[in-house]
């Protein structure tokens, strides 16, 4: 029952309180967000504003007040329809590259021959052929993140949740990974929800950007990003439309960051 008018992800009035040493902390307050199928939505905001929390709630890792509806049904817990990539890579250190990518396929009881095909294809896609039998400890940060993305893609989730996936990488690697991610998204057209503090990254990758307020988090502003991504990165990043949107988003995010600073 495919209702093409229904959004893929609906977040309505989600609030989340954490217990902490100094008493309960309200991380999210009445957050609303709608994401349509095939959209690439970024959430930017000051650190501690709750954007990661929102992502974890959508992923089903944290329970919260309010509704999170995916494809018409409420989220009850983690699921293979929502693939997740963390900043810390979260690769299983005891499994090789090959076995990490294969992991989800094994859990889904995919046939062995099919499994190997998918893993081999993905290893090629991320450009790590020859590294299948390495352990995560032998890989660089960028390589680890690629494996993490491949592992998530292996299960072909309809939704990708990315929590500051490139935050731990150096600037050059980050740019390369952003291009990779963009390429994968253009090919597969999955619904992507990206959390990042890097405004430029958000503008480069997404077609919609949501700015979150300081804690307790709420979506304060939204920006539609309609850029012509057919040109090269160099051209795009220098172009006027790119920078105009980037400046607007940056100012909005900065306002929130300053407000957060005042809070401390």
Restricting to residues 20-39, which ones interact with other proteins according to CB under 8 A? none
Angle between helices 97-107 and 112-125 (to 10 degrees): 130
User: Residue 40 has which token pair?
Assistant: 């690439």
Binding other proteins (rule: CB under 8 A), the pick from 7, 59, 142, 165 is 59
Contact stretch for other proteins (CB under 8 A) within 2-10, 37-45, 136-144, 199-207: 136-144
| Residue 13 is a binding residue for other proteins (CB under 8 A) | no
Query: Of 93-101, 121-129, 240-248, 252-260, which segment contacts other proteins by CB under 8 A?
Result: 93-101
Binds other proteins (CB under 8 A): choice among 15, 46, 56, 253 = 56
Closest CA to 161 of 261, 220, 83: 83
From residue 100, give the alpha-carbon distance in Å to each of 109, 126, 145, 169, 246. 15, 14, 12, 20, 36
Going from the C-alpha of 114 to that of each of 28, 108, 121, 146, the distances in angstroms are: 42, 12, 11, 21
Angle among Cα 184, 186, 192 to the nearest 5 degrees reads: 75
Of positions 9, 57, 84, 149, contacts other proteins by CB under 8 A: 84
Q: Is the peptide bond before 73 cis (omega within 30 degrees of 0)?
A: no
Residue ranges of alpha helices (H) inside 130-232 are 141-154, 171-188, 199-205
Distance CA 236, CA 229 (A): 7
Q: Under the criterion CB under 8 A, does residue 107 sit at the interface with other proteins?
A: yes
82 belongs to the binding site for other proteins (CB under 8 A): yes
Q: Which of 58, 150, 155, 249 binds other proteins (CB under 8 A)?
A: 155
Site residue total, other proteins (CB under 8 A):
31
Residues of this chain, 166-195, that bind other proteins according to CB under 8 A: none
Q: Which stretch binds other proteins (CB under 8 A): 10-18, 111-119, 149-157, 193-201?
A: 149-157
Q: Does 131 bind other proteins (CB under 8 A)?
A: no
Binding site for other proteins (CB under 8 A): 56, 59-61, 77-80, 82-84, 86, 88, 90, 92-96, 103-104, 107-108, 135-138, 151-152, 155, 157
């Amino acid at each position: 029952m495919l209702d093409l008018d229904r959004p893929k992800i609906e977040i309505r009035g989600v609030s989340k309180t954490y217990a902490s040493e100094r008493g309960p902390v309200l991380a999210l307050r009445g957050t609303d967000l709608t994401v349509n199928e095939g959209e690439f939505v970024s959430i930017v905001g000051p650190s501690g504003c709750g954007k990661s929390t929102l992502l974890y709630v959508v992923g089903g890792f944290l329970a919260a007040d309010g509704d999170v509806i995916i494809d018409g049904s409420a989220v009850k817990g983690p699921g293979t329809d929502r693939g997740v990539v963390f900043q810390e890579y979260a690769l299983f250190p005891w499994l090789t590259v090959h076995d990490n990518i294969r992991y989800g396929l094994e859990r889904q009881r995919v046939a062995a021959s099919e499994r190997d095909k998918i893993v081999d294809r993905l290893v090629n896609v991320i450009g790590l052929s020859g590294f299948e039998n390495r352990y995560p400890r032998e890989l660089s940060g960028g390589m680890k993140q690629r494996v993490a993305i491949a592992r998530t893609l292996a299960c072909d989730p309809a939704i990708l949740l990315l929590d500051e996936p490139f935050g731990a990488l150096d600037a050059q690697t980050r740019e390369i990974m952003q291009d990779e991610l963009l390429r994968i998204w253009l090919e597969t057209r999955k619904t992507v929800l990206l959390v990042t503090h890097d405004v430029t990254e958000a503008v480069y990758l997404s077609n919609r950007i949501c700015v979150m307020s300081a804690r307790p988090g709420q979506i304060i502003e939204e920006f539609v990003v309609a850029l012509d991504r057919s040109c090269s990165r160099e051209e795009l990043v220098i172009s006027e439309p790119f920078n105009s949107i980037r400046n607007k988003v940056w100012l909005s995010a900065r306002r929130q960051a300053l407000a957060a600073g005042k809070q401390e």
